[in-house]
Amino acid sequence: MKVILLQDEKKLGKKGDIIEASEGFARNYILPKKIGVEATARNLNDLKLKKANQDKIAQENLETAKALAAELETKQVVIKMKAGEGGRAFGSVSSKEIAAACREQAGVEIDKKKIQLEDNLKGFGSYEVTVKLHPQVTGKLLVKVVEA
């Protein structure tokens, strides 16, 4: 019996997979526990439509991320820090502060978890920060750290 899985199941497969299961296993385990449904023509068509819709949404998300990456290339964020002894920066700039400054100054909402810093910015000057907007798209943001 062919069955379409409705959720990820460890030993059977992933959500949306079409598997071949014995009649008894399907009737007594898979169908009653709502792990899957029988692969009828109607259910196969529904699965095809859902996958097409998911592909369309994924493509739209990719295009949005590319547009945001292009927008970030043109933006610049200025962060003011206090200066310590000898004109050195007092403290450091974290991804949370960069995200807040980007929201206020550039009007672009970026999640702090998407900002990739090797280490916090500890000095004055200009830095190019990588922002991972999508698994396939990364953008660059210019961050200027100046003395307050």
Give the pLDDT mean for 48-59.
95
Taking only Cα atoms into account, the Rg of the chain, rounded to an integer number of angstroms, comes to 25
User: What's the pLDDT at 53?
Assistant: 96
Higher-confidence residue: 88 or 20?
20
User: What's the pLDDT at 12?
Assistant: 92
Question: Per residue in 64-118, pLDDT tens?
Answer: 999 999 998 898 999 998 887 777 778 888 899 999 999 999 888 899 999 998 8
The CA-to-CA distance between both ends of the chain, in Å, stands at 71
Cβ count within 10 A of residue 143:
22
Q: What percent of the chain has pLDDT over 90?
A: 69
User: What's the pLDDT at 106?
Assistant: 84
The DSSP secondary-structure symbol of 113 reads G
User: What's the pLDDT at 120?
Assistant: 80
